[in-house]
Amino acid sequence: MGRILVVTSGKGGVGKTTTTANLGMALARLGKTVALMDADFGLRNLDLLLGLENRIVYTALEVLAGECRLEQALVRDKRQPGLALLAAAQNRNKDAINPDQMKLLAEQLAGRFDYVLIDCPAGIESGFRNAIAPAQAAIVVTTPEVAAVRDADRVVGLMEAAGIRNSRLIVNRIRPGLSQVNDMMTVADVREILAIPLLGVVPDDERVIVATNRGEPLVLDKNLSLPGMAFHNIARRLEGEKVEFLDLDAPYNTLLGRLQRALQRKIF
C-alpha cells in the first residue's frame, strides 16, 4: 500500500498547490509512482500548475458515480509516466463529495501507487475535512508571515484532533535578505512557534511564477533552480534520505551582508 499524504495550510495562497505539483513530480523523478488528488472542488488548479488542464475528461465525481473506471479518470503525465492526476470537479462545490468517498478513492489509489498526495483547499470547512479524511500524515505549508503561521497552527491542531499527529512543516517563500535585517521571521522562528518537525525550506523566487505560467513544475528543469532543488530535497526526505536544508543565506555572504550580521551579533 502506498502512503497517503495531505498537503494543507489553512490560509490560501501560501503555495499548497505549487508544493503538491512539485513534490509529485520530484517523487516521480526519483522513480516512485505518484497519484495527485485535487481536493479543491469548485476551485481546482492543480491541473493548471501541472500543465494537464487540456487532458481532463473525467473527474473524481464520475468515478464515484460509476460513470467511468478510476483508470479512465487518471491523467498520466507524459513527462513523468510515474505521475497521474485525479482531477476535482470544477462545476460543483465542496459538498459534492464527502469524507467517506474521499477515503474510498484515496485507498484505491494507494493500492496502485507508491504515494497519494492530496491537494487540500484553503479553509477549515468541509473541503478541508474531505481532504484530511484519508490522510495518514500531513505536510503543512506556511510562509514566514503572522497570518499564515497562525492558520497553520490551527490546522495542525484540527488534524491532531482528527488523529493525524505526524504533521511536518514546509516553510515557503523565504526571503533571506529580509530575515537578515530582522524584518522577517526566520525558519527557526516559525519552527519554534509551530513546534512540528521541519520537512523543507523553499526560497521566494520569480521562477516559481514563470513555471506556473507555463504549467511546468520547477523540478522538471534540467538545471535545478534553488526552489526546484528545495522541492527535490523534500522529495528525498520523504523517501527517508537525510538531506541537509538549503543554505539560503549563501547569496547574502557579501560584504554588506556580513556587516549587517556582525551588527546583529551579541556582544554581551
- Binding region for another protein (CB under 8 A): 145-146, 149-150, 153-154, 156-157, 179, 181-186, 189, 193, 195-196, 262-268
What is the nearest approach in angstroms of another protein to the Cβ of residue 195?
5
Q: Which is nearer to another protein, 55 or 175 (CB)?
A: 175
Which H or E run contains 46? helix 46-50
What is the nearest approach in angstroms of another protein to the Cβ of residue 10?
11
Q: Which is nearer to another protein, 78 or 154 (CB)?
A: 154
Q: Which is nearer to another protein, 193 or 224 (CB)?
A: 193
Q: Which is nearer to another protein, 93 or 182 (CB)?
A: 182
Please provide the distance, in angstroms rounded to a whole number, between the alpha carbons at the two ends of the chain.
56
How many CB atoms lie under 10 A from the CB of residue 192? 10
Residues 6+ apart with CB under 8 A from 135: 4, 5, 6, 106, 118, 159, 164
C-alpha cell recorded at residue 257: 551582508
What is the nearest approach in angstroms of another protein to the Cβ of residue 260?
8
Partners of 35 in the beta sheet? 84, 116
What is the nearest approach in angstroms of another protein to the Cβ of residue 191?
11
What is the nearest approach in angstroms of another protein to the Cβ of residue 182?
4
C-alpha cell recorded at residue 80: 513523468
Q: Which is nearer to another protein, 49 or 149 (CB)?
A: 149
* 235, 115 contact by CB (below 8 A): no
Please work out, in degrees rounded to the nearest 5, the angle formed at the alpha carbon of residue 188 by the alpha carbons of 186 and 190. Answer: 75
